[in-house]
Amino acid sequence: MKKKFVWGVATSAYQVEGAVREDGRTPSIWDTFCAQPGKIDHGDTGEIACDHYHHYKEDIRLMSELGIDSYRFSISWPRIFPEKGRYNPDGMRFYQNVIAELKKYGITAAVTLYHWDLPQWAEDLGGWLNRECVDWFEEFARKCFEKLDADVSMWITHNEPWCASFLSYYIGAHAPGKHGLEQAMIAAHHMMLSHGRAVRVYRAMGGKHPIGITLNSTPVYAATDTFPDQLARSMQEGYQNRWFLDPLFRKSYPTDMAALFAAQCGTRFAFLQPGDLECIAEPIDFIGLNFYSHCYVNYDPASPILIGHPETDYPKTDIGWDIHPEALERLVRDTREYTSIPIYITENGSAWDDRVENGCVHDQERVDYLRRHLEEVDHLNQMGLGIQGYFSWSFLDNFEWANGYSKRFGLVYVDYKTLKRIPKDSFYAYRDWIQAFRKR
Ligand code: IFM
């Protein structure tokens, strides 16, 4: 039987939940990072966020009005293990309640285990730079499988490991805000290893639902056809895409990137131990892709990884990202070079400077962006590219990491003073699209 296409929305724990001290939760690296002056726009924090922790029933009722099949959310690790080795049933109860509420409306739960909120206790012991972090993650994953699997429709081990490693340990823009290339390589390796270990645990427990990982690999375009710019394209693909796809599907790291990284930071690859690559390549059931834009590059010999980012004349969203829906085809085709397993678009969306007018939010730019991307997904599936579902980012406006609350991605507007929710025009446009699709 043909599998049903899944329509969904997505959020992540730290970005929406708030309630950072409730029911035994301890701080995550994002609480610590937010407390450091200058890290987050306007000094914003996730302390209250959308207070989804207390508003989840209202939010899920709105999801049912939207008519989605599935809600993708993540689990806050420091709620579940507030200290090393200490399980906290009170923290788990929140997710059990969310899933029970979803069930009432026939909405399935697509659960991400790690969407960047590492417990601070783990960071204090070295975090992802400490190989033991893989064991701590495995313990966390096992507990989530044990307590939630019966009512979860799909598991995503990690969200965008490139961001959680290179953006966080090399560029330093995200928690824990470090600046070392070898550190990023080590963190990425341990995250990918923890992915493989979680998949093995799930299989060993007899888990029957699909399990996979979400990447933010990107379709890359070179500014010109010249050799240097084409080289930069290949480097960018290596840095953001192949560094994760090769171990997942080919049991190796890309040698061109490994050589470049090694020349830059002198790593001896001591973090890579026998058996690791086999574990990372444990077979998965689907791959999640988060797609927002393309990456446009030129050759920059002054950059440690030879990549420059020239200005383009594409129209841009409020966060400055080029709008290029057709680039999704390149991303999907590049992914298809590696695997034929189902692809889910686990995030896609756009930030705009939304305003409330007479109780409504007329976000025509988001409606256009959404429609063009949905048409593209449809087009790719007509060509047989095997996209199995689409999750709009985001259900709610939320804490956009280093941008704080200054960038709004939601289908639902959140008034951060009153916590009132206002469905935007894009909410109704998405609802209508889903309904029309189901009637086909
Ligand atoms: O908000 C983020 C999300 O947490 C991960 N993917 C990209 C989104 C928009 O920046």
Active-site hit among 347, 365, 376, 400: 347
CA distance 51 to 94: 13
112 lines ligand 1 (CB under 6 A): no
Active-site residue 160, yes or no?
Answer: yes
Which domain range does residue 303 map to? 6-438
In a domain, 1, yes or no: no
In a domain, 238, yes or no: yes
160 lines ligand 1 (CB under 6 A): yes
Q: Ligand 1 atom closest to Cα of 401?
A: 1
In a domain, 126, yes or no: yes
Active-site hit among 101, 123, 160, 237: 160
What six digits make up the tokens of 188?
Answer: 């990425």
Residue 96 CA, ligand 1 centroid: distance in Å? 24
Residue 433 CA, ligand 1 centroid: distance in Å? 23
**Structural domains of the chain, count:** 1
CATH number at residue 135: 3.20.20.80
CA distance 326 to 314: 12
Active-site residue 146, yes or no?
Answer: no
Q: Judge whether 285 and 214 are in contact, CB under 8 Å.
A: no
Residue 126 CA, ligand 1 centroid: distance in Å? 25
237 lines ligand 1 (CB under 6 A): no
45 lines ligand 1 (CB under 6 A): no
11 lines ligand 1 (CB under 6 A): no
In a domain, 293, yes or no: yes
Bridge partners of 87, per DSSP, are: none
In a domain, 226, yes or no: yes
Q: Judge whether 411 and 66 are in contact, CB under 8 Å.
A: yes
Q: Ligand 1 atom closest to Cα of 163?
A: 5
- What CA dihedral angle connects 241, 309, 267 and 276, to 10 degrees? -10
Q: How many other C-beta atoms can be found within 10 angstroms of the C-beta atom of residue 237? A: 22
What six digits make up the tokens of 365?
Answer: 């730019």
Q: Which of 11, 12, 167 to mutate to test the pocket of ligand 1 (most atoms within 8 A of CB)?
A: 12
pTM: 0.98
Backbone angles phi, psi at 328, to 5 degrees: -60, -35
What is residue 3's predicted lDDT score, i.e. its pLDDT?
Answer: 75
In a domain, 248, yes or no: yes
In a domain, 117, yes or no: yes
Degrees to nearest 5, angle at CA 173 with 137 and 246: 55
What is residue 2's predicted lDDT score, i.e. its pLDDT?
Answer: 60
Mean pLDDT by 10 residues, the chain (440 residues): 87 99 98 98 98 99 98 99 98 98 98 99 98 99 98 98 98 98 98 99 98 98 98 98 98 98 98 98 98 98 96 98 98 98 99 98 98 98 98 98 98 98 98 97
